[in-house]
Amino acid sequence: MIRLENVSRTFNAGTPDERRAIDAVSLEVAKGEFIAVIGGNGAGKSTLLGLVSGALTPDAGRVLIGDEDVTALPQHQRARRIARVFQDPMTGTAPTLTVEENLALAELRAQGRGWRAALSAARRSRYRDALAPLGLGLEERLTARAGLLSGGQRQALALVMATLIEPQVLLLDEHTAALDPRTSASVMQSTVELIGGRSLTTLMVTHNMEHALRYGSRIVMMSAGRIQADLSAQEKRDLSVADLVRRFHVAEDRMVLA
C-alpha cells in the first residue's frame, strides 16, 4: 500500500544550516498494516510522514501509494486517500466551528465541495453514529463549538474527521503526546477500533514505548534520518519496554559513533 524507494529529504540545502532529515530511506507497508514509528527528536519521523502525505517533496527517490507513483503529487490531491492527525489538539479542528461543522468541513473538503449548506438531517445522524463509539458524549454536542471541548475530546474529534472520508492511509503524528495518561489511553482505544474496523494502513509516530509495543504489527526505529531497525510482530512480542528502550539507545549510540 505504501512504498518508499530510497527517499531523501534535505532542509536548508547549500547553507550552513543544511540538514539531511531523511537519508535514502526505503520502506514497504502492506495494506491494512499498522506500524509504530519511534525515534528521538530529529530522527526524521515527522518528515517521513510529510513525505507520505505530500506536505513535503523528496529530493530523491520515489513515493508510491498502491501502484501509483505519487512523488510529485501535491498534498491536496492525495487528501482523499491519506489522512493525518497531528500532536496538537488545536491543529486538527477549527475552534470557532461547531462539532458538526468541523465534520462536514473534513468530509466535503476532501470531495472539493462546499460544506455550509450540507448539514442535512441524514448527515447529522451519520455524524452521531461516527462519534458515539468514542464514549465521550460528542454525539450529543454536535452544535457545540470545538474550541469549548477538552483536549482529549478535540483530538478524538480530529481522529473521526480524519477517518470520516474512509482514507486508505492514516498518519498519526504523536497524536496522544499532548494528552494526560487517562485521556491518551481513551484516544488510543478509539484509534485502534477505527483502524481495525476499517482496515486502515497506518503509520503512527510515537515517543511512548509502551504504545509502540502494545499497538500495531511492526515497529520501525529511526535515527538521524535512517531506519535503524524494523521489528516484526514476533520480535515485538518477545520484547519488554526496557528491551525496546535499550535497543533504541544502542541505535542512537551507533549513529553518534558512525
> Which residues fall within 8 angstroms of residue 246, CB to CB, at 6 or more apart?
none
CB neighbours of residue 141 within 10 Å: 18
Buried b (16+ CB within 10 A) or exposed e, 229-250: bebeeeebeebeeeebeebbee
Domain-wise residue ranges, the chain:
2-94+169-257
Q: What is the pLDDT along the chain (258 residues), one digit of tens a residue?
A: 999 999 999 999 989 999 999 999 999 999 999 999 999 888 999 999 999 999 999 999 999 999 999 999 999 889 889 999 998 878 889 999 999 999 998 887 656 555 565 678 888 999 999 999 888 899 999 999 999 999 889 999 999 999 988 899 999 999 998 888 888 888 899 899 989 988 999 999 998 889 999 999 999 999 999 999 999 999 998 888 888 888 777 666 554 444
Measured distance CA(149)–CA(33) in Å, rounded: 31
Buried b (16+ CB within 10 A) or exposed e, 167-184: bbbbbbbbbbebbeeebb
CATH 2.60.40.3500 fits 2-94+169-257, yes or no: no
Measured distance CA(40)–CA(162) in Å, rounded: 26
pLDDT of residue 250: 67
CB neighbours of residue 3 within 10 Å: 17
